[in-house]
Amino acid sequence: MVAIISHDAGGAEILSSWAKLRLESFCLVVEGPAKKIFERKLGVINCFPLEQALSIADWVLCGTSWQSDLEKKAINLAKEYNKKVISFIDHWINYHERFMLNEKLVMPNEIWVGDQDAKNLATEFFPNTQVTLKVNPYFIELKSELEKICHDVKFDDQGIVLYVCEPIREHTLLQYGNERFWGFIEEEALIFFIDNLSALKVNIKEIRIRPHPSEQPEKYNWVHKKSNLNIVISAQKSLIEDIATANIIVGCESMAMVVGLQAGKRVVSSIPPGGKVCGLPQSEIQHLQKLIRAQHNMFLNA
């Protein structure tokens, strides 16, 4: 039996898909945003206290989180119980921070990743830890759901932009004690995007703003006053349905942007001037700052 430990949404998407596809028995320690994701995929779930789950499990599979220390505490406790513990990294940024607990690096016995880019990064950051490339179970499930949605749902194929939000201020304040550690906050990135829509060179019919699972939808109600465009806050559809029915996916460096690439969508990073460089390694991602410069140069050369 494996104990599956998860808190944040990104890791929960992967681990819940892994659990759904596996025949191996498991017990769950899921909290925070992860709980709704596991319930959506697995139905009614039975959650165990951490120590009980580790005591009955043969080995441990963790996600990684910035909102909680649950997985880091599970790594430490699993080692005390002499249980092998594996962490499945769901992203491509902030690798050290994912394993820092009380200013100490807390490492599992093994790290799993779902693509070659992540393997290269994890191997560079953690040369003394085994890094194993696995088929990403979330992407397998994603492709199946995309095929179904595209078959069942008719949608306008012109000018729908999905903006995926991230709680940047909360993240940097928690991790670094400074909400502007990355040089910008989420509202500034969204405003930068809205103010420079022309750089996308498309006739936009709808902007669909999707809050992060850890955010409340009303956080972005102010956007309606910022523009006279057709802007809606998406809080009911699944991420996959939102991506499938959009033409362009925009965000800062969200995992949802990479999901958009998997779905064959155009993906753009909206990190504003003065902000950190987008940490996503996928070369297909466009950058709004570069699109604006190209638009400006074309105007000068006209």
What tens-digit pLDDT sequence spans the chain (302 residues)?
A: 999 999 999 999 999 999 998 878 999 999 999 999 999 999 999 999 999 999 999 999 999 998 899 999 999 999 999 999 999 999 999 899 999 999 899 999 999 999 999 999 999 999 999 999 999 999 988 888 887 776 655 555 568 999 999 999 999 998 889 999 999 999 999 999 999 999 999 999 999 999 998 899 999 999 988 777 899 999 878 888 899 989 999 999 999 999 999 999 999 999 999 999 999 999 999 999 999 998 877 666 65
> By CB neighbour count within 10 A (0-12 exposed, 13-18 middle, 19+ buried), where does 47 fall?
middle
Domains of the chain are 2-138 (3.40.50.2000), 153-301 (3.40.50)
Bridge-partner residues for 3, per DSSP? Answer: 27, 60
* Count of beta carbons in the 10 Å neighbourhood of residue 156: 10
- 162, β-bridge pairs: 208, 249
* pLDDT for res 73: 97
Q: What pLDDT does 302 receive?
A: 55
- Residue 299 has what pLDDT? 64
Q: What pLDDT was estimated at residue 297?
A: 73
Q: Name the token pair of 243.
A: 């991506």
**Given this model, what pLDDT does residue 64 score?**
96
- Residue 14: CB partners within 8 Å, gap ≥ 6? 63, 88, 90, 114, 136, 137, 138
pLDDT reported for residue 247: 93
Q: For residue range 27-61, what is the model confidence (pLDDT) as tens digits?
A: 999 999 999 999 999 999 999 999 999 999 999 99
Report the predicted TM-score, pTM, of the whole model to 2 decimal places.
0.88
In the prediction, which pLDDT does 229 show? 83
User: 161 — phi, psi (to 5°)?
Assistant: -110, 130
The answer for 175, left when phi > 0, alpha when psi is -120 to 50, beta otherwise, is alpha
Q: What does the pLDDT read at residue 144?
A: 84
Question: In whole angstroms, what is the distance from residue 4 CA to residue 297 CA?
Answer: 52
